[in-house]
Structure 1
Amino acid sequence: MNAIIALSLFGITNLFLGFLNNRKILLPATLIFILISLGLNFADWNHEYYWFNNMLKTDNISVNFVSIILLSTLLVVAISRSFGDDDEHSHPAEYYAIMLFSAVGAIMMVTFENLIMLFVGLEILSVSMYVLTGSDKRNLRSNEAALKYFLMGSFATGILLFGVALVYGSTGSFSIHGIGAGVSLAKAQMGGAYGPLLYAGIILMMVGLLFKISAAPFHFWTPDVYDGAPSIFTAFMSTVVKTAGVAATYRLLSISFPATYGLWGNPLVYIVGATLLIGNITAVYQQSFKRMLAYSSISHAGYLLITVLAKRPETNSSILFYSLAYSIATITAFAVLIVVAESKSKDGKPDESFDAINGLAKNNPLLAFVLTVSMLSLAGIPLTAGFFGKFFIFSDAFSNPSVLFKGLLVIAVLMSSVGIYYYFKPIIAAYMKSGNTEKIEISPLYKFTLIVTTALTILLGVAPDLIKNIF
């Protein structure tokens, strides 16, 4: 939990570094800050602690989730470029500081032991993302995305809080373990039934959390917000925010409400099915690479929720492995999109269509290769991390004897096949279509980050047990 304190102090330090005339110090300083926080997080390994009057808890599961969040933040910061190019309108110190603060909120969401801390972490993360989404103040799409995200996110937070109030009224506790005990007691006293307040509270809390991870039918904000936000922050949003949201949902349902599985499990099956169908089928028709990744993010929320539903002993490691594989591949894809879009701007704006990737392999073989590996991983092709991520999730789902669950698994497999179609679009554009993409110069740090993420994707696809056993 020292990582929370360190990141908060480092974020404030970044703001003071912004007063310096030399902006070049901000990127390496932020990377060092995140690495230190990552080391402090690993110091909690094999140590189970309760912090801040039992409001937060660290154990090996939370350490793993926090590691994925910090690694994703590190990679996103490493590919952040052009932050300080515009002296008049860009404020890199503020951007980096807000990213560190948002990571604090994400960590609180995966370590909360009390619903109050879940709300605080969620708000820290959400408010930070509202600001970053609208950070390109001269871009109307960015302004629109920020306003839409803020308004819809505020409603979702209100719904979540209403659910928290109803659950507290039903169980008399904000502690997730206390709630679990209260639910079990209510079940015993009422002959297996629950009061309507508890039913309503659980449903409202699920709505608030499912909004944050872009699950259907609460996904409508995702394409426009992802498309309007600067690409670097979209990469952060689609990885860190999703990992934190899924981890928080799993922690809440598995600890507080396992006894009410029949209440939230059956509706969630239909929600997951709709999420997979909408995310994958809509992604097929996208002409923008960035919007395709937005709908892809929706579909991956569905895959992650499958293993939340499975209730297997392996669920912890399956969610962690999939989150890691998805985050690495998504950040790689956005890294390539950022440099290509900037090199082919239209009307002063980055070109984020598939056409911008045409002929990429001719003069930029490294970019084309890492893009190919990331797309193959997201599609779940063998010898990539994404393949074993889906394999572990489908294995968990197959072990569930429910006929409804078997139907969901069939939908998931079919939608994975659909995903192959649209994930191959950028690969075909890079290698099989002609274009005028010139040689794109990238910094050594940028190139090193791409090589590391690609190597990790292949390594996890060849030897998944290296990470799976740790989880």
Structure 2
Amino acid sequence: MTSIILLTSFGIINLFVGFMKSKRILLPLALLFLLAVLGANLLQWNDTQSYFNNMLTIDNYAVGFTGIMVLSTLLILPFSQRYITEQDDNIAEFYSLLLFSLVGAIMMVSYENLLMLFIGIEILSIAMYVLAGSNKKSIRSNEASLKYFLMGSFFTGILLFGIVLIYGATGSFDITRIAGAAQRAESVEGVMFGLGMLLIVAGISFKIAAAPFHFWTPDVYEGTPTLFTTFMSTVVKTAGVAAFYKLMASAFGASYATWYPTLVAITVLTLLVGNIGAAVQTNMKRMLAYSSISHAGYLLMALIALNERSESSIFFYSLAYSVASIASFGVLKLVTVQRDDETFEAFNGLGKSNPMLAFAMTVSMLSLAGIPLTAGFFGKFFIFSSVIEGGDMIWLVVAALILAAVGIYYYFKVIIAMYMHPAGNFAPVKVSSLVSVVLIIITALTIILGIAPALASDIL
């Protein structure tokens, strides 16, 4: 709860600071705010507290995933230096919206009541609708915002309808009471309960870009300014998956046999669409969008397994994926802004002109592909282990491994462009000291977690 209060307060303070003539103080101030929130969050470890008549509970699960989301935002913000340098009039509003959206994300990982889950989703989503269209001069940004808003509103209605049906079947929004009622759902109430679960699964699947509810993702990711696409791909997905797992494990665990086939179908389709879709892209940003869809599929595998390893697997994978995605989107932002090209050709010769950028991008691509000695390898290993432990879903792991091999193909297209193609007329990419430090930290973290995964895998 301390994190929510601090983020809300800091967001409001940041808006007032934005009235100052110079904008240079905004970035260090926002980073300082996030460091304070991260510290306050860690102080709540092993100190479970409930609020609002048990509608919100801050436990180790909430603290862990909040830590990933705040850390991700802390690593994303340095890439916004260009907004400061160019004296963008709206930079204070951008930072405040990111802080406010984190409030919604924290509510999504700490809810104990479906109403609190809905409020958290709406706080997060509304901020993202605005940020998606923040580049007012870009038609693609305006299109992305409108498409995200319309589709998001539609699926929010579906989610809300599902919540209402669950309330009608159980008489409660509390996930503990719903879990108890799920064991005796029969006849008309049973049908209502099952339909409610199905609608909620569809609503949350949209939020995490799982197929067949992924159709908005490539266009929205491509049109949204890269800084906010990074936030969307990491923080929003982490919050959505963590909320999804908590809901299915705590509220609908007794109905596992009912929702299991649906989620298996969604997972397989997500892996297939994400990996095959990414393999045929020529635009780097769209490739990362389809890649994000495929990673939602890997995360859903742990949810399907629903055993004692699932929680820690999702936590580690979310951390590994978030760190690698921030590096890849960060380098993409630097390259595309200065070379005015979003295709793979924009990375030609980067290995010679900018060795540090190329190395950071290489490590992030290897991690996303699941290559050993990177965090992504153990992320996939823990996910697959949790599924294998179930015993009857080996075929799913085999299918995921085959599709992961497809992932190696499209991730290596970037590496080949950087080291094996000449730069041509492209000049070296300019990188600030702050961004260089952040990329070094991210790269080191990816490698460290790939060598000593126990540093994070045993937290939850």
Please give the TM-score of this superposition, normalised by the length of structure 1: 0.96
Q: Distance in 2 between matches of 1:142 and 1:148?
A: 10
Q: Distance in 2 between matches of 1:85 and 1:222?
A: 30
1:441 aligns with 2:404: no
Q: How do residues 38-437 of structure 1 correspond to structure 2 at under 5 angstroms?
A: 38-87=38-87, 90-184=89-183, 186-187=184-185, 190=186, 195-345=190-340, 351-402=341-392, 405-435=393-423, 436-437=425-426
Q: Deviations over 1:404-463 (max 9, x none)?
A: x22222210101000000000110000000113322222111111000000000000000
1:464 aligns with 2:453: yes
Matched position secondary structure for 1:377: helix
Q: Distance in 2 between matches of 1:342 and 1:369?
A: 19
Q: Deviations over 1:333-384 (max 9, x none)?
A: 0111111111112xxxxx1111100000111000000000000000000000
Q: Distance in 2 between matches of 1:371 and 1:330?
A: 10
On the 8 A contact 1:332/1:370 being kept in 2, the answer is yes
On the 8 A contact 1:360/1:437 being kept in 2, the answer is no
Give the counterpart letter for 1:18 in structure 2. Answer: G
Report the alpha carbon displacement of residue 194 of structure 1 after superposing the two structures with TM: 5.9
Matched position secondary structure for 2:213: coil
Percent identity, aligned pairs only? Answer: 56
Q: Deviations over 1:175-201 (max 9, x none)?
A: 1111111212x24xx49x962110110
Q: Distance in 1 between matches of 2:2 and 2:181?
A: 31
Q: Deviations over 1:267-289 (max 9, x none)?
A: 11011000000000010110011
Q: Distance in 2 between matches of 1:446 and 1:460?
A: 21
Q: Distance in 2 between matches of 1:385 and 1:39?
A: 24
On the 8 A contact 2:61/2:109 being kept in 1, the answer is no
Report the alpha carbon displacement of residue 241 of structure 1 after superposing the two structures with TM: 0.3
Q: Distance in 1 between matches of 2:50 and 2:373?
A: 40
Give the counterpart letter for 1:287 in structure 2. Answer: T
Give the counterpart letter for 1:212 in structure 2. Answer: K
Matched position secondary structure for 1:136: coil
Q: Distance in 1 between matches of 2:50 and 2:16?
A: 32
Report the alpha carbon displacement of residue 81 of structure 1 after superposing the two structures with TM: 2.5
Q: Deviations over 1:76-120 (max 9, x none)?
A: 112222213444x64100000000000111010000111111011
Displaced runs of 4 or more, over 6 A: none
Give the counterpart letter for 2:439 in structure 1. Answer: L
How many corresponding residue pairs? 459
Q: Deviations over 1:39-85 (max 9, x none)?
A: 11111100111012211101111110000010111111122222134
Q: Distance in 1 between matches of 2:437 and 2:374?
A: 19
Listed as ranges, the gaps of 5+ residues in structure 2 are none
Q: Distance in 1 between matches of 2:111 and 2:458?
A: 25
On the 8 A contact 1:84/1:90 being kept in 2, the answer is no
Aligned-pair RMSD on alpha carbons? 1.2
On the 8 A contact 1:215/1:271 being kept in 2, the answer is yes
1:348 maps to what in 2? none
Q: Distance in 2 between matches of 1:51 and 1:116?
A: 14
Q: Distance in 2 between matches of 1:437 and 1:3?
A: 44
Q: Distance in 1 between matches of 2:336 and 2:448?
A: 28
Q: Distance in 2 between matches of 1:367 and 1:396?
A: 35
Q: Distance in 2 between matches of 1:70 and 1:86?
A: 26
Q: Distance in 1 between matches of 2:152 and 2:358?
A: 36
Q: How do residues 12-51 of structure 1 correspond to structure 2 at under 5 angstroms?
A: 12-51=12-51
